[in-house]
Amino acid sequence: MQKKMTDLIKNHGVVWKIPVASVLSWEFAELAGSKHPYLAPLTVILSMQLSIDKSIQFAWQRVLGTIAGVLFTVLITPFIPTDGWSIGLLLLVGALIVSSFKLDHAILVQVELSILLVMYFQSKMPTYPLDRIRDTIIGAAIAMAIHILLFPPDSVNKAKRKMVQFSDHLVDHLTNTSLWVQDGCPANKVQSLQSNMQSLFQELHQTTTELDKAEQSLRMNPLGTRKRATMNQLTQHMQQLRSGYANLADMIQVLSKWSENGNFTKENQQLWADHISGLAMLVKQWTQGWNEPGAYRETSMEPAHQIKTPAHLMNDQYPLSLYTKAEQMVQDFSL
């Protein structure tokens, strides 16, 4: 029970932060003299997003849109009647003004909401325009303070878990490629192997996106200094994972061509099966090294360290690699 409660507090903050921030914002709004204190928790509910950067972005957009919409409406309403046509006209003018400044759509929505509500309520409740601005600011400020200061969302650890998962899948693909090579690179399995690599590429893209989100969220978090060093390390590890994926994709392409020309001997099959198996162990140990620094390493890195270009092929490796890449480009771009 205690474990579940701890998990709720640390990892599901939105569940309890919204009620807490709503209560505080209502009380502060009443203390400030508001006759419409519900506007403060309304802003809390709308502003409290899953990540800090999204929360901050929505909060300032709501505050800015609310202020602009209220001021615009207060200046105009004394001169026009309150009816459907007048509301429609004001909404149109407000939308055109926001669009002319090329502001975000979320700001446009907040401006339009403020125009509609202020125009309707102002004649019935004269304090509504001021309350709407003041309570929106109170709600946004309290929501951001609680979201940032009390167990802020840990987007960095989320990105790290995603990277570890991708790294494990890269190891699986290396292992499967090693088995494929040991079988002589059968042509009937190439399509399946490439399909799996395409799925891995999609996961690579998702992992990169998650890391970008974490970096953006950390940039918006004034208290995230301690996480920035971890973020820099993860960015470097992500570059290595991208390179690992690209190299594996290239090796599969070369091995497939080598097998097709009939010169892929049993000796070379076993040699490259062992090499790729060694690479799988290397990536696995590399992941453990930065994800679990104290983890015991059961396997040796020696097989991977033995992968070196033989002396008699030293002068041929560069032109052969260039020809391979050039031929692939010809195939990719030929009509």
- 126 and 271 part of one domain: no
Per-residue pLDDT of the chain (335 residues; tens, 9 = 90+): 666 666 666 667 778 999 999 999 999 999 999 999 999 999 999 999 888 888 999 999 999 999 999 999 999 988 888 889 999 999 999 999 999 998 899 999 999 999 999 998 988 899 999 999 999 999 999 999 998 888 888 788 889 999 999 999 999 999 999 999 999 899 888 889 989 999 999 999 999 999 998 888 777 776 667 788 888 999 999 999 999 999 999 989 888 888 888 888 899 899 899 989 989 999 999 999 888 766 545 545 555 666 777 877 777 777 777 787 777 777 766 65
- 44 and 137 part of one domain: yes
Do the domain assignments include residue 135?
A: yes
Q: Which of 126, 149, 172 delimits the end of a domain? A: 149
Q: Which of 112, 132, 149 delimits the end of a domain? A: 149
- 120 and 269 part of one domain: no
Q: What is the pLDDT of residue 123?
A: 81
Nearest to 214 by CA among 153, 150, 270, 282: 153
Do the domain assignments include residue 2?
A: no
Q: What backbone torsions phi and psi does residue 309 show, to the nearest 5 degrees?
A: -65, 125
Residues 6 or more apart whose CB falls under 8 angstroms from that of 290 comprise: 233, 237
3-state secondary structure 266-306: HHHHHHHHHHHHHHHHHHHHHHHHHHCCCCCCCCCCHHHHC
Q: What is the pLDDT of residue 139?
A: 97
Do the domain assignments include residue 306?
A: no
- 132 and 214 part of one domain: no
Q: What is the pLDDT of residue 4?
A: 67
Residue with token string 């928790």: 41
Do the domain assignments include residue 14?
A: yes
- 200 and 99 part of one domain: no
- Across 155-183, b (16+ Cβ under 10 Å) vs e yields bbebbbebbbebbebbbebbbbbbebbbe
Residue with token string 């401006």: 111
Q: How many CA atoms lie within 13 A of 297 on its CB side?
A: 17
CA distance 151 to 209: 23
Do the domain assignments include residue 164?
A: yes
Cα 200 to chain center, whole Å? 17
CA distance 290 to 66: 46
- 320 and 223 part of one domain: yes
Give me the sign of the Cα torsion angle 167, 169, 175, 180: negative
CA distance 201 to 199: 5
Q: Which of 149, 179, 213 delimits the end of a domain? A: 149
* Under 8 Å between Cβ of 110 and 61: yes
Residue with token string 């309570």: 135
Which domain range does residue 65 map to?
A: 8-149
* Under 8 Å between Cβ of 64 and 106: no
Q: Residue type for 25, please?
A: S
Q: Which two tokens stand for residue 263?
A: 């010169």
Q: What is the pLDDT of residue 59?
A: 94
- 57 and 101 part of one domain: yes
**For residue 38, what is the DSSP state?**
T
- 112 and 178 part of one domain: no
Question: In the chain, how many domains are there?
Answer: 2
Residue with token string 């909401």: 113
Do the domain assignments include residue 233?
A: yes
CA distance 165 to 173: 13
CA distance 291 to 247: 22
Q: What is the pLDDT of residue 51?
A: 82
- 261 and 122 part of one domain: no
- 44 and 61 part of one domain: yes
Do the domain assignments include residue 3?
A: no
Q: Is 262 left (phi over 0), alpha (psi -120 to 50) or beta?
A: left
- 222 and 128 part of one domain: no
Do the domain assignments include residue 76?
A: yes
- 129 and 29 part of one domain: yes
Nearest to 72 by CA among 106, 45, 39, 107: 107
Q: Is 103 left (phi over 0), alpha (psi -120 to 50) or beta?
A: beta
